[in-house]
Amino acid sequence: MQIGPHKLANPLIVAPMAGVTDRPFRKLCKRLGAGLAVSEMVSSDPRLWNTMKSQRRTDHDGEIEPIAVQIAGSDPQMLAQAARYNVDRGAQIIDINMGCPAKKVCNVAAGSALLKDEALVARILDAVVEAVDVPVTLKVRTGWDRDHRNAPRVARIAESAGVQALSIHGRTRACGFSGEAEYHTIALVKSQVSIPVIANGDIATPRKARQVLEQTGADAIMIGRAAQGRPWLFREIAHYLESGSEMPPPPIAEIRALLLGHLQELYAFYGDEAGVRIARKHIAWYTKELAGSTAFRETVNRADTAAAQFATVDGFFCRLALNHERLIYERGELAA
β-pair type (165-169, 197-200): parallel
Nearest to 121 by CA among 74, 167, 78: 74
What pLDDT, on a 0 to 100 scale, did the predictor assign at position 321? Answer: 85
Beta bridge partners of 137: 95, 165
What pLDDT, on a 0 to 100 scale, did the predictor assign at position 116? Answer: 85
Please state, in angstroms and rounded to a whole number, the distance separating the CA atoms of residues 289 and 266.
23
* Distance from the first to the final alpha carbon of the chain: 30
Nearest to 271 by CA among 55, 44, 28, 39: 55
What pLDDT, on a 0 to 100 scale, did the predictor assign at position 245? Answer: 95
Three-point CA angle 156, 158, 160, nearest 5°: 70
What pLDDT, on a 0 to 100 scale, did the predictor assign at position 1? Answer: 86
What pLDDT, on a 0 to 100 scale, did the predictor assign at position 292? Answer: 83
Please state, in angstroms and rounded to a whole number, the distance separating the CA atoms of residues 223 and 328.
24
What pLDDT, on a 0 to 100 scale, did the predictor assign at position 106? Answer: 42
Give pLDDT tens digits along the chain (336 positions). Answer: 899 999 999 999 999 999 999 999 999 999 999 999 999 999 999 999 989 999 999 999 999 999 999 999 999 999 999 999 999 999 999 999 997 655 554 445 456 688 889 999 999 999 999 999 999 999 999 887 777 779 999 999 999 999 999 999 988 766 666 678 899 999 999 999 999 999 999 999 999 999 999 999 999 999 999 999 999 999 999 999 999 999 998 999 999 999 999 999 999 999 999 999 999 999 999 998 887 888 999 999 999 999 999 999 999 999 888 877 766 555 444 342
Nearest to 23 by CA among 48, 71, 58: 58
The alpha carbon of 217 is separated from its chain's Cα centroid by a whole number of angstroms, namely: 21
Catalytic residue among 100, 106, 175, 318: 100
What pLDDT, on a 0 to 100 scale, did the predictor assign at position 107? Answer: 46
Report the length, in residues, of the chain.
336
What pLDDT, on a 0 to 100 scale, did the predictor assign at position 10? Answer: 96
Q: CA-CA distances (angstroms) from residue 37 to 1, 51, 136, 181?
A: 14, 23, 15, 21
pLDDT in tens, 287-304: 988 878 889 999 999 999
To the query of whether residue 100 is one of the catalytic residues in this protein, the response is yes
Nearest to 172 by CA among 193, 202, 147, 203: 147
Q: Which residues of 293-315 are buried (b: 16+ CB within 10 A; e: fewer)?
A: beebbeebeebeebeebbebbee
Nearest to 111 by CA among 85, 138, 87, 131: 138
Q: Which domains does the chain have, with CATH numbers?
A: 2-243 (3.20.20.70), 252-323 (1.10.1200)
The alpha carbon of 301 is separated from its chain's Cα centroid by a whole number of angstroms, namely: 25
CA torsion 50→261→225→328, rounded to 10°? -160
Omega prior to 66 cis, within 30 of 0: yes
Q: Is the dihedral of CA 316, 318, 323, 327 positive or negative?
A: positive
